[in-house]
Amino acid sequence: MASPPCPPSPLARVRLDDVAPHDGAAAPGYARAVAALAASLARRGAAVLELPAADAAVVRCALESARAFFRGRHAAYLYRAGRTLEDGELSPACMADAFRCLGKAARAALCAIARHLRLRTDVFNQLLDDTPLPVNEISSSELLVSYSHEQLQSGQALMGCPSRSSMPQVDRGFVMLVASDCPGIEVCDPNGHWYIADGVSGPNNLLLLTGRALNHVTAGLCPISHYRVTNENRASLTFRLVPHANAILDCSPILAAGHCIRQVYQPIPASQFMDDSCAEEHAVSSHLDEPSESQGNFVSDPSLRSVLSDPLSGSFLEDAMVLQCGHSFGGLMLKKVIEMARCTICNGEVDPSSLFPNLALRAVATVVKMEDDRRLFHNAALRKRRKDVTEHTDVPKRTGSSKDNNELALDAGSPVAFKGVQYPFVVGERVLIMGNKRTPDKFVGKEAVITSQCLNGWYLVKALDSGESTRLQYRSLKKVSELQLQTQARLQPLAFLGGR
């Protein structure tokens, strides 16, 4: 008996040729396609791109080769352009062609999102890999080809273990494109409702999802897509458009376009951003593996406070108002939204006469504010009590022998007394890159200068000879002594005379 047909997808279906960047004036069809794509991402959390016939044939070939390559077993293969195969390593067919087709579609979608935000269509190109890739360089973006079998999911269900893929996930890069031979991905819309996003699945339809990096560089104007895999019996291609490791993710184009920037969107190296996102995903996965009794305390106070407070002034949303699109604002952000006449979340138009109070949000913000004030008062009283106790206990120490005082001073200055992240270098200081097993060979042994200090003991350094930048930890760096600098200064005139 044939299975019932899948319901049509509720997402906007946009032809790739309609949103592809091109020379000349923008046609009316291009503007409509860009608007439909942006509206679907804002209201549904996803969109569908329709490939032309030639690209669809390449994707169909890659999906069929995946089924033939894995031969019905549950497996996956990660393809990155520029990486050479190791001895004895095999790869599914059509990977290079599929990587080019999906990469072109992902960049076109990114250009369309930039155009909708009133930016240049190529504004994000400097954050991506060069096209084509230089010699001996591996792409930051990746293509994951996988085949999952229904029997694996059934075995996990019998053992009482839910599949990891069925849990909510987000992408760390800019955009993610998924092609599969049958439906199986659910997306969560801004209202918290899960729905089948690839209901009309096929090699000519690509499911478009947005990631954390795009949300950061757009200052939150482009939301993050939350998805989960519900069908384990299918072959799929997943392309992730990722910023290159030496890029700096900042919101300067958004600020130049007149959009409002929240304080949480600070410039950050792409490598650090991806590492932090990976660590956060591991923390969420570890929490999901814990017993259900501890899951009720997962939401912490800082995240709740950030949701209920104005991102500009930091005050609680005790004057929250609801817009036509359903989003709520208060304080200075509300004034900014009214001045711009546009919502900073979904970019929808705002009519000041249609605003009305969000009584539920105001009540919650008031309760949390009272609890926050009570906690601050309690912490202040506790610190004062500890200070009084410390002052009383310090009196015998001040009247003790000089030997005891010297020992205390020695202990305070010892490296064991203070444990934490070390920052032995300062910005502008010259260092020698010692490197480790993960440092590219072209940087090892080179002199560099510290350009910025990152989190957890990491530095952004710039090589003096090539001008290239990379992110390294303090253990991989060595301070250049004054003797070495003086020796180099004496050798430079001699080298110049020798060259003459």
User: How much is the pLDDT for 482?
Assistant: 56
How high is the pLDDT of residue 142?
93
Highest-scoring range by mean pLDDT, 39-43, 239-243, 279-283, 298-302: 239-243
Burial of 39 (0-12, 13-18, 19+ CB in 10 A): middle
Q: Which CATH class, in words, describes the domain spanning 13-244?
A: mainly beta
The contacts of residue 53 (CB under 8 Å, 6+ apart) are 204
Question: Average of pLDDT values for 372-397?
Answer: 62
The per-residue pLDDT for range 189-204, each reduced to its tens digit, is 888 889 988 876 677 8
Q: Is the pLDDT of residue 460 over 90?
A: no
Mind listing the pLDDT tens digit for each residue in 229-253?
Answer: 887 678 889 999 999 988 899 988 8
- Looking at residue 112, its pLDDT comes to 94
Instruction: Give residues with Cβ within 8 angstroms of 309, minimum separation 6.
Output: 315, 316, 317, 365
DSSP one-letter string for 451-471: EEE-STTEEEEEETTT--EEE
Name the nearest CA neighbour of 303 among 278, 274, 283, 323. 283
* Mean pLDDT, residues 315-326: 81
Structure pTM?
0.58
Pairing assessment for the beta strands 175-180 and 447-453 based on DSSP bridges: unpaired
Residue-wise over 456-480: b if at least 16 C-beta within 10 A, else e?
ebbbbbebeeeeebbbbbbebbeeb
Token duo for residue 94: 């059509």
Domain extents in the chain: 13-244, 430-499
- Measured from the Cβ of residue 292, the count of other Cβ atoms closer than 10 Å reads 7
Q: Which pLDDT does position 296 carry in this prediction?
A: 35
CA separation for the pair 226, 495 (Å, rounded): 60
For residue 8 the two structure tokens come to: 């049509």
Section 45-61 average pLDDT: 93
Higher pLDDT, 51 or 76: 51
Q: How confident is the model at residue 359 (pLDDT cuts 50, 70, 90)?
A: confident
Share of the chain above pLDDT 90, in %: 24
Whether residue 74 has pLDDT greater than 90: no
CATH 3.40.50.1000, applies to 430-499: no
Is residue 280 pLDDT above 60, yes or no?
no
Tell me the C-alpha distance between 321 and 333, whole Å: 11
Q: Are 448 and 464 in contact (CB under 8 A)?
A: yes
